[in-house]
Structure 1
């Protein structure tokens, strides 16, 4: 009897104080690719994204536009839903923290923590950054021109108000033990080292309510307080699975396999979140992966510089699948990276148009021309075939290994290596010459190239779903034979192949 294989993947829920940018698209794209890969691998997958809609920053942003906070969040949240459609993300749910199901989950978690003695009423006094919705210790504050700043560069203000506290300090040693017992919980390694070092330096109890504004989830039994936005936000991951009903159909997906986050919110996900869950007696996520930030042509991205990268505009200019490919190909996931249009155009022209597109067009055109458009039969084995066929057969396992480490760039390099090998192999075998001397060998060579192309198109589906659907159509692979397991079953000899058409157009960009 086989057990069900499940996988729960989440993006952070995106803060609705402004419209989506390249960073949001990047995190969700990584999550989408892994979700699609796991589905192809036979897993039941639940992929969650959504929007974080409470807090002082949202309240202020709504005020600045002369809008009611709910109307404002409705508008901006829709922009994130639209981005998911534009980028062809395959999320199973889209959660908003203003939904009733979420407020109920927050209240239930709060009450559970309260019953366990993990929350107490006190007063908060210290530095608070509205932009980060975060508190900072005195040793983290810097001063310039009379203004004090958090380590993120956000201005801070001195706050004193009544507050409920979570006994985070009591979890310091248990968190360190948890990190030791779960070395893969935080990735990449550099981020893990940062978190462990921070926790070892000492944890104070965490202020988890505010009275200075009203836009948030009310604290049960004391509605003068709203919950600290991060307690509210982090709870979304269990709200979406039906919490507090641990008999809900989706609860079987908890704990999350990977929370994908930007490095700026790592502390909340790897310190506050596991501590809150352990304190509530709930399982902790298996992994939190923090990716880096993009710069734009070497400059830090900021609204004041006017160099924010709009993912929708990129897609309109270069096409959806090429943009999806580039974002995960260009930079090791986890590192900071620079967005350059020159790099995008060069990579798309060389790796997609020249390597993969050219290999597919040459092979399929030769089959049309020399095999009457029918999938050729393999002749006698030849020692020269092993290199290409072995590389194609090993590709799913090699891609799986990289994606399970969230090494998207490595997965794509392994795929590209087989694409390059295919082009070198077709040049070495010269099927166009074999037509005059050995028709059986020509057919065999073209069949092996078809086999390699099928493997390439299959493993690239999560990265470029629409284009690889077209490629698999051209290879005459049935819709129900596009999973990883199906690669083990060859297509019947003589299968009719449709006439090929180019998969990628070279980009001629005058600006580049």
Structure 2
């Protein structure tokens, strides 16, 4: 199990950090997307947050000064409509949903340092200042625009981005190829960003930094998008149609486009426009594949136009399905993280998402799958580390857990201090993944809080002739079973009921 566990953690860390490829920097600014508050959080939102949290904890473990931001995106037509449907003031509606995201992140120990809302005054100032910079430089102009518009996606689409389909009544319609949402022809006067001028710059940026978008296949996807001409981007909406948003500076009849507004949150948290230089140059984004274009094309173009540094990396992850089907409210198969944490525990669900998530392809969630994984790797293997084993039993346990590692390092030569040392290493490595369980493991092993950093990692120090600080140290209080086995039969029954 340890080799599998270690391999999974290392793969996630390599995916997120590419440690060998990135020079060490004292500061590290990590972001999740800010989550749209037209509906409450689901497991996909949690996956983004847990990935980012794992990376942030890992960076702190290695001694980085890390800023970690998340938050909520609260402007736009969908929010305006959702609030109206709920019969609530838009700000009241946004506050309620935003609090549900905060509650989720608190439950799952997401260790963010800043939670930003796009309705905050500090964000309004940042957006207005950024807009004026782009406008003064001539990158924003007013013009008439017409084209296919997707209300759910809040974006205009080109002919190559749409296809013919039918609605539920069989009537012919046009839909977005990417999202599947219906589009309508729209013509209006608004402000445009000269996106077309940045196509070559974006291509050069990606070619000169082949690891800036990870995994690699998403890097290639963006390059393919850039093979086509980039039309200028509509960056405002008529206020008569969209009043829930930030007013265009100097033009009360226009509202700033929600995606330009939203992306600037990363600068808001960095301290823009007053003090941001320390953080804006060390930014790493974690995003879902559905918002790749906004982060890999629009956002870098905005930054180039404003003269600000580009992101160090954009880490992209895929989506979760449920029993092979796309999650949707209509199917009733949306996975509720709070509900699942009651059964599988917070750390259990964190571990499952990080262990089973594959960033470059969609992953399937079902209860029996999580039960088998957690029973095998947390209840049996990791939990077995704390059992009061006889020395020869401990050797056999190491053999079972570490496979090839065991063969290379001859565990039959280990003494009890080496065993203790090895378990401490497991606990330290697992802190970014399952912080609560890792703390319990380290507490039981009497590892002080000051001894839980990357610099404290050293395999088999006594065996190698070095000093083992745990020699002669008594175990900490017995906190019981580390992770209780789960009932697999119950999970299978639950899954069958949902399918039926």
Confirm or deny a common fold (TM above 0.5). Answer: yes
**Which residue in the other structure is 2:372 paired with?**
346
Question: 1:126 aligns to what SS in structure 2?
Answer: strand
Structure 2 distance, partners of 1:87, 1:475, is 24
Task: Map 1:420-459; keep pairs closer than 5 Å.
Answer: 420-421=402-403, 444-459=414-429
Q: Specify whether residues 162 and 98 from structure 1 end up closer, same or farther in structure 2 by C-alpha distance, changes over 3 A only.
A: same
Question: 1:18 aligns to what SS in structure 2?
Answer: coil
What is the TM-score normalised by the length of structure 1?
Answer: 0.83
1:497 to 451, 454, 475: 475
Structure 2 distance, partners of 1:463, 1:222, is 48
**CA shift digits 1:255-289 (9 cap, x unpaired):** 24320111000000000000000000110111111
What is the TM-score normalised by the length of structure 2?
Answer: 0.85
**CA shift digits 1:29-54 (9 cap, x unpaired):** 00000000100100000000000000
Which has the higher mean CA deviation after the structures are superposed, 340-349 or 47-56?
340-349
Q: Specify whether residues 429 and 202 from structure 1 end up closer, same or farther in structure 2 by C-alpha distance, changes over 3 A only.
A: closer
**Which residue in the other structure is 2:60 paired with?**
39
Q: Specify whether residues 422 and 473 from structure 1 end up closer, same or farther in structure 2 by C-alpha distance, changes over 3 A only.
A: farther
Give how far 1:160 is off: 0.9
Give how far 1:230 is off: 0.5
Q: Specify whether residues 18 and 502 from structure 1 end up closer, same or farther in structure 2 by C-alpha distance, changes over 3 A only.
A: same
**Which residue in the other structure is 1:435 paired with?**
none
Give how far 1:359 is off: 2.7
Task: Map 1:223-242; keep pairs closer than 5 Å.
Answer: 223-242=252-271
Task: Map 1:284-299; keep pairs closer than 5 Å.
Answer: 284-299=310-325
Question: 1:502 aligns to what SS in structure 2?
Answer: coil
Question: 1:20 aligns to what SS in structure 2?
Answer: coil
Task: Map 1:370-389; keep pairs closer than 5 Å.
Answer: none
**Which residue in the other structure is 1:124 paired with?**
145
Residue 222 (structure 2) pairs with residue 195 (structure 1):
yes
**Which residue in the other structure is 1:157 paired with?**
184
1:61 to 75, 82, 104: 82
Give how far 1:331 is off: 2.8
**Which residue in the other structure is 1:506 paired with?**
485
Which has the higher mean CA deviation after the structures are superposed, 158-167 or 354-363?
354-363
**CA shift digits 1:133-159 (9 cap, x unpaired):** 221101221222212111111111211
Which has the higher mean CA deviation after the structures are superposed, 444-453 or 256-265?
444-453
Question: 2:270 aligns to what SS in structure 1?
Answer: coil
1:209 to 217, 231, 236: 236
1:330 to 356, 376, 383: 356
**Which residue in the other structure is 1:397 paired with?**
none
Residue 120 (structure 2) pairs with residue 141 (structure 1):
no
**Which residue in the other structure is 2:26 paired with?**
5
2:102 to 81, 86, 89: 81
Give the count of matched residue pairs. 447
**CA shift digits 1:355-410 (9 cap, x unpaired):** 111133244xx48xx9xxxxxxxxxxxxx99xx7xxxxxxxxxxxxxxxxxxxxxx
CA contact (8 A) 1:258 1:285 kept: yes
**Which residue in the other structure is 1:412 paired with?**
none
Name which structure has the greater RCO, CA cutoff 8 Å, separation 6+: 2
1:464 to 434, 455, 480: 434
CA contact (8 A) 2:195 2:231 kept: yes
Structure 2 distance, partners of 1:335, 1:144, is 26
RMSD of equivalent CA atoms: 2.3
**Which residue in the other structure is 1:316 paired with?**
342
**CA shift digits 1:465-505 (9 cap, x unpaired):** 11111100111111111111123573242111135432111
Residue 209 (structure 2) pairs with residue 182 (structure 1):
yes
Structure 2 distance, partners of 1:476, 1:8, is 32
Structure 2 unaligned residues grouped into runs of 5+: 1-23, 167-171, 459-466, 493-500
**Which residue in the other structure is 1:283 paired with?**
309
Give how far 1:182 is off: 1.3
Give how far 1:453 is off: 0.6
CA contact (8 A) 1:256 1:287 kept: no
Question: 2:231 aligns to what SS in structure 1?
Answer: coil
**CA shift digits 1:185-219 (9 cap, x unpaired):** 21111111111111111100000000021111110
Structure 1 unaligned residues grouped into runs of 5+: 371-383, 389-416, 431-440
Structure 1 distance, partners of 2:365, 2:246, is 38
Question: 1:213 aligns to what SS in structure 2?
Answer: coil
2:128 to 95, 102, 107: 107
CA contact (8 A) 1:419 1:456 kept: no
Give how far 1:65 is off: 0.6
Question: 1:192 aligns to what SS in structure 2?
Answer: helix
**CA shift digits 1:319-347 (9 cap, x unpaired):** 01111000010132232100021110011
**Which residue in the other structure is 1:219 paired with?**
248
